[in-house]
């Protein structure tokens, strides 16, 4: 990790947070109608500043902010103002509160602020520090839509197709498998065979139900099946991957690199989907990306395209950008201006802006 960045002087002198809440224009379900961003602002003893954020939909924002305001703030004062120098020590310090979940979500706010601070100190963007490899990436339309009627689902797919998307993702995992089959059949009829169709079960099946479902869904030629079983069930991932030709995608609910390594080394995954906030920020995200590439697997970061696309353009090989309808930070009113991530239909480009280029409201 230290090989990526030049270590600079200065120590952390202050940490403060503020909570932003944004209603989702298209709720992700009856119980998921908003997202929270906890903005983290760091200052150093030599007068530099950096801004990062933690994020969670609906649940846990107050707990994340409390961990930042108390345990993390106290620990960070006097520590080196550099992500490579503090991430592992902070993770060990917080481990009594858990190795992932709220712990790593809160850590992400600090890690991003330190990356932003470091890039700003050099007058550069975070992508330029890491080395930009892609002028543009391809996005896929991603829907949190299991609660949609079939007609609403098809309307969403039509919007993606009219925008130029050639890859889309829809939810499966209904209590009645026949409902899933009918909806996927209707979507596949609308898209035709040339559009990549990803299916996401959000951990709703056990192994037996997953085997029944993937066997029945295989005729629709899914590009991948995402989170077919519980994120912590390695045995079922391995067995399902052994018994189906459909690629298995997972990772949005895997919270640290050790768990990613376990899943990868066991042979339970084809498409690796880390969420940069849930894993603890850019520092561990890059380690997970290195692990993914070294094992010849596909990387497809989960959500938060205004951040994850900035990292994806620096990674080797093809990388998908997940675009959930109406969830850009600009659309949600979380930032005061445009972000560095520019959309042109399904194509995603990153402009060169100092630091992370995110000006929070």
Q: What is the pLDDT of residues 116-165, one digit of tens each?
A: 999 999 999 999 999 999 999 999 999 999 999 999 999 999 999 999 99
Task: Please give the model's pTM, rounded to 2 decimal places.
Answer: 0.95
**CA pair distance 73, 38, nearest whole angstrom:** 14
CATH of the domain spanning 127-350, picked from 3.20.20.120, 3.40.50.12160, 3.30.70.20, 3.40.50.720: 3.20.20.120
Q: Domains of the chain: which residue ranges?
A: 12-121, 127-350
3-state SS, residue 351? coil
Q: Convert the pLDDT of each residue in 246-255 to its tens digit.
A: 999 999 999 9
Q: In which band, very low, low, confident or very high, does the pLDDT at 207 lie, cut at 50, 70 and 90? A: very high
Tell me the percentage of the chain whose pLDDT exceeds 70: 98
Evaluate if residue 114 carries a pLDDT over 90.
yes
Average confidence (pLDDT) over 170-196: 98
Per the model's pLDDT, the better-predicted residue between 42 and 7 turns out to be 42
**CA pair distance 30, 52, nearest whole angstrom:** 29
Which pLDDT does position 319 carry in this prediction? Answer: 93
Written as six digits, the tokens of 108 are: 């992400």
Which pLDDT does position 3 carry in this prediction? Answer: 42
Evaluate if residue 7 carries a pLDDT over 60.
no
Which pLDDT does position 286 carry in this prediction? Answer: 97
**CA pair distance 307, 102, nearest whole angstrom:** 19
Q: In which band, very low, low, confident or very high, does the pLDDT at 317 lie, cut at 50, 70 and 90? A: confident
Average confidence (pLDDT) over 348-358: 97
**CA pair distance 44, 31, nearest whole angstrom:** 40
Average confidence (pLDDT) over 71-81: 96
Average confidence (pLDDT) over 257-285: 97
Question: Is 82 a catalytic site residue?
Answer: no
**CA pair distance 210, 228, nearest whole angstrom:** 6
- What CATH architecture does domain 12-121 belong to? 2-Layer Sandwich (3.30)
Yes or no: say if 26 and 101 are a contact pair by the CB < 8 Å rule: no
DSSP bridge partners of 348: 137, 343
Which residue in the list 36, 82, 171, 255 is annotated as catalytic?
Answer: 171
Question: Is 302 a catalytic site residue?
Answer: yes
| Average pLDDT of the chain, as a whole number | 95
């Amino acid at each position: 990790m230290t090989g990526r960045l030049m270590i600079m002087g200065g120590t952390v002198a202050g940490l403060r947070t503020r909570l932003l809440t944004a209603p989702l224009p298209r709720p992700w379900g009856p119980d998921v109608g908003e997202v929270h961003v906890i903005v983290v602002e760091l200052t150093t003893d030599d007068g530099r500043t950096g801004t990062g954020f933690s994020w969670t939909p609906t649940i846990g924002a107050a707990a994340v902010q409390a961990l930042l305001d108390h345990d993390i703030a106290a620990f960070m004062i006097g520590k080196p103002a550099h992500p490579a120098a503090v991430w592992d020590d902070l993770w060990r310090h917080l481990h009594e509160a858990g190795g992932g979940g709220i712990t790593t979500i809160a850590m992400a706010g600090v890690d991003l602020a330190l990356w932003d601070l470091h890039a700003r100190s050099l007058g550069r963007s975070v992508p330029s520090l890491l080395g930009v490899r892609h002028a543009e990436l391809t996005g896929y339309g991603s829907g949190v839509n299991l609660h949609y009627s079939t007609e609403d689902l098809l309307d969403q797919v039509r919007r993606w197709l009219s925008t130029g998307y050639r890859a889309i993702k829809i939810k499966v995992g209904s209590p009645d498998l026949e409902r899933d089959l009918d909806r996927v059949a209707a979507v596949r009829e609308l898209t035709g065979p040339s559009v990549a169709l990803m299916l996401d079960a959000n951990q709703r099946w056990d192994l037996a139900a997953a085997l029944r479902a993937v066997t029945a869904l295989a005729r629709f030629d899914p590009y991948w099946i995402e989170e077919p079983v519980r994120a912590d069930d390695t045995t079922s991932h391995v067995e399902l991957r052994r018994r189906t030709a459909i690629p298995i995608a997972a990772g949005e609910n895997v919270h640290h690199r050790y768990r990613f390594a376990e899943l990868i080394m066991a042979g339970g995954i084809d498409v690796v989907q880390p969420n940069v906030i849930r894993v603890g920020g850019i520092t561990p995200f890059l380690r997970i990306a290195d692990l993914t590439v070294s094992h010849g697997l596909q990387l497809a970061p989960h959500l938060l395209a205004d951040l994850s696309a900035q990292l994806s353009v620096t990674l080797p090989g093809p990388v998908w950008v997940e675009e959930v309808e109406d969830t850009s930070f600009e659309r949600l009113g979380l930032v005061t201006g445009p972000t560095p991530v520019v959309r042109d239909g399904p194509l995603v480009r990153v402009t060169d802006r100092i630091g992370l280029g995110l000006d929070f409201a």
